[in-house]
Amino acid sequence: MESIEIMQEIAKQVSVCEKCNLHLTRKRSVPGEGPINAHMLFIGEGPGFNENEMGRPFVGQAGKFLDELIRHAGYQRQDVFITNVVKCRPPENRDPLPDELTACAVYLDQQIATINPDIIVTLGRFSMAKFFPMARISAIHGKAAWVGDRLIVPMYHPAAALHQPNLKNDIIADFKALPLAIEEAQKKKLAQAQKRMEMEKPVVPPADSVEQLSLF
């Protein structure tokens, strides 16, 4: 199955999902959006009021700030893929519950595997906890770290700046540093590809061995 077909199937499954109670109150599911070959994947926490109305991620005030932050990193919104750890709005924008995170994890894992981004940016503590379960976001925000073969950069959620304006400059600075993390991830990816090519090269025997073999 082609990547685009896989992503379409994920979106279809999300739209009818009843794995947790969030489906009882959702208006529209929000599977995510962006190019399926995006170099950068953003993972937020969950849809809010506007997202539940429109079926798109980050379209409210926090989304406008995210658009600005993405531009600080040298990209445009249409260049990146944006999704959330849960695909339906938690009532009253409460935190996602453990069973809701577990129910949606299969969709997020499929999206990550299909897009195969160079870098994953987590937005907020719940998406951060998927990769750094014991960490505090105040301690590791903006610090890229390898988790397996993926470079993860934990960031404050854009909404944090709306509630705590003193965080805004730190968040902008973290996003401005993203190109360095992207460069690091792409270099490692290139090195791994070159290593695979070397390993797949056919073994050519030395010239004198070929001559000796031809005598028989």
The predicted pLDDT at position 188 comes to 87
Confidence category of residue 216, pLDDT binned at 50, 70, 90: very low
How far is Cα 48 from Cα 63, in angstroms, rounded to an integer? 10
3-state secondary structure 79-124: HCEEEECCCCCCHHHCCCCHHHHHHHHHHHHHHHHHHCCCEEEEEC
Q: Tell me the HSE value of 114 on the side-chain side, using a 13 A CA sphere.
A: 21
User: Dihedral of the CA atoms 88, 92, 97, 101 (nearest 10)?
Assistant: 20
pLDDT recorded at residue 191: 85
How far is the C-alpha of 156 from the C-alpha of 172, rounded, in Å? 10
Structural domains for the chain: 3-214 (3.40.470.10)
CA dist., res. 49 & res. 44, Å (int): 14
128: left (phi over 0), alpha (psi -120 to 50) or beta: alpha
What would the pLDDT profile of 150-175 be if each residue is shown by its tens digit?
999 999 999 999 999 999 999 999 99
- pTM for this entry: 0.89
pLDDT recorded at residue 199: 82
